[in-house]
Amino acid sequence: MKKNLFVILTAAAVLFAAVTTGCESTRTVSHGISDVGYITFTSEDFDAVRVVIDDKIEFYAAVNFPDTRKIDNENNYAVKAGTHSVQVYSGDRLVFSKEVFISSQDIREIALP
């Protein structure tokens, strides 16, 4: 009787350990560099601008002062790496229009006139 109780308790302990640790004892995660770059805008004359990328994506962006040495990540905007048509408007006035190449994980600074 004691021998059967010992076997049952041992089996229960092994089962409990297997359930609480899970089936996977190791997990491998592999990440590559994401295929995005970033754009940021600088100007002495503008605080915010409207940005149109590839005639599809439109958003309002904050503009950094050009002499700022600190990179403000809140003012960096993620864009898929590659060549893009970028237009920047202040109100209804076009202030910048150019084809821009943005490489992966790069921050491209666009200086507005």
pLDDT digits (tens, 9 = 90+) for 1-15: 666 666 676 766 666
Flag whether pLDDT at 23 surpasses 70: no
Can you list the pairs that 46-52 forms with residues at least 24 positions away whose Cβ atoms lie under 8 Å? 46/90, 46/95, 46/112, 49/88, 49/89, 49/90, 49/95, 49/112, 50/88, 50/89, 50/90, 51/77, 51/86, 51/87, 51/88, 51/89, 52/86, 52/87, 52/88, 52/89
Asked if the structure places residue 99 within a domain, the reply is yes
Asked if the structure places residue 30 within a domain, the reply is no
Flag whether pLDDT at 97 surpasses 60: yes
Flag whether pLDDT at 102 surpasses 70: yes
Domain count of the fold of the chain:
1
Asked if the structure places residue 69 within a domain, the reply is yes
CATH value at residue 70: 2.60.40
State which residues form the domain around 106: 36-111
Flag whether pLDDT at 58 surpasses 90: yes
Q: What is the mean pLDDT of residues 52-60?
A: 94
pTM above 0.75, yes or no: no
